[in-house]
Amino acid sequence: MNTKLQGQDWINIILGINIILGIWLFFFPIYLNGAHGVAAWNSYIFGAIVIILSAIAIFKSQVWEEWIIMAIGIWLFFSPMALGYFNNYDVTLNSVDLGTVIFFIAMWAATMRELKPWNGHLRRSQKG
């Protein structure tokens, strides 16, 4: 019995972490009780999208899911300034920190899918 984790297993673990981060993002306004209006809706909408896309990516792996999640990470990083809730320290810190982590996790997963190092050696995936 081979218990060594393969590359796809690591991607699924990382995407599972992204699901947990999406859940945290979704429920943070409720937990904090200080995020209202646009900041709360930003967390609800993009937290739900991260959860859904990460779950889809676990079962049907496509690189486009990670690209969208990376874009969401960038949005979360800049959304406090763009939406005007930069003065709410806790909500801003949560959005910036989660945006950064979500971005880098998705970038790592996309890179792993493209390189597929578990095929024996690092090589680009071949179409067809």
Please state the φ and ψ torsions of residue 114, each to the nearest 5 degrees: -70, -40
- Give the burial string for 98-128 (b: 16+ CB within 10 Å, else e): bbeebbebbeebbebbeebeeeeeeeeeeee
Take residue 73 and report the two structure tokens written for it. Answer: 């990470």
CA 45 to each of CA 14, 25, 84: distance values in angstroms, whole numbers, following the listed order: 21, 9, 17
Q: Show the beta-strand stretches assigned E in 1-128.
A: none
Please report, as a single letter, which amino acid is at residue 121.
H
For the entire predicted model, the pTM comes to 0.78
User: pLDDT tens per residue, the chain (128 residues)?
Assistant: 556 656 667 778 888 888 999 999 999 888 877 567 898 899 999 999 999 988 888 787 677 888 999 999 999 999 999 999 888 888 899 999 999 999 998 888 888 776 665 444 444 445 54
